[in-house]
C-alpha cells in the first residue's frame, strides 16, 4: 500500500500503524499538497480526508478500517475506492480519549457512491 500524508498530521501515523498491524506493507510519502494525488486517483472533493492511499488498484481515502480494505480487495467491486470523509472520532487513527462517533465507509465510483460499511 502506498500512502501520502502531511508531515504535520499525527492521526495519519495512527492509521498507518493500524494498517501495518493488519498485515499491510505501507510505504509512506510525506507531502504538504495532497490535492494532485487525490485528483489523480479520482477522489471526489466531498470525500477528502487527511491522507490518501492506494492498494490493489483502489484509492483509500482517510480513516478506512483495515477490515473494510481487506473486504474490498477480496470482493473486487468495480469502483474507484473507499473513503471515510473527515476525521470521525473512534475511527482507526482517531482514537481520542475513548470517544467515538458513528461513521460510514463510502464505496465510490465514477458515477456514484454507496455505503460500504457502517461503524
Q: What is the pLDDT of residues 24-82, one digit of tens each?
A: 999 999 999 999 999 999 999 999 999 999 999 999 999 999 999 999 999 999 999 99
Q: Which position has the grid cell 508531515?
A: 7
Report the percent of the chain where pLDDT is more than 70: 100
Q: What is the pLDDT of residue 8?
A: 85
Dist. CA 110–CA 105, nearest whole Å: 17
Q: What is the pLDDT of residue 33?
A: 93
- Which positions ≥6 away from 70 have C-beta within 8 Å? 22
**Span 75-92, average pLDDT:** 96
Q: Locate 90 and state its grid cell.
A: 473512534
Number of domains in the chain: 1
Q: Which position has the grid cell 483502489?
A: 58
Higher pLDDT, 98 or 27: 27
Q: How confident is the model at residue 96 (pLDDT cuts 50, 70, 90)?
A: confident
Dist. CA 39–CA 22, nearest whole Å: 27
Beta strand segments in the chain, E: 2-5, 27-30, 51-55, 58-62, 81-84, 104-108, 113-118
Q: How confident is the model at residue 97 (pLDDT cuts 50, 70, 90)?
A: confident
**Span 76-91, average pLDDT:** 96
Domain range for 52: 2-118
Amino acid at each position: 500500500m502506498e500512502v501520502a500524508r502531511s508531515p504535520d498530521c499525527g492521526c495519519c501515523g495512527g492509521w498507518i500503524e493500524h494498517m501495518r498491524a493488519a498485515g499491510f506493507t505501507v510505504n509512506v510519502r510525506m507531502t504538504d499538497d495532497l490535492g494532485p494525488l487525490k485528483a489523480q486517483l479520482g477522489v471526489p472533493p466531498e470525500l477528502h480526508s487527511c491522507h490518501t492511499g492506494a492498494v490493489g488498484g483502489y484509492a483509500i481515502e482517510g480513516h478506512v478500517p483495515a477490515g473494510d480494505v481487506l473486504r474490498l480487495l477480496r470482493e473486487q467491486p468495480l469502483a474507484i475506492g473507499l473513503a471515510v470523509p473527515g476525521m470521525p472520532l473512534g475511527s482507526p487513527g482517531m482514537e481520542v480519549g475513548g470517544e467515538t462517533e458513528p461513521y460510514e465507509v463510502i464505496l465510490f465510483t465514477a458515477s456514484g457512491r454507496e455505503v460500504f460499511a457502517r461503524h
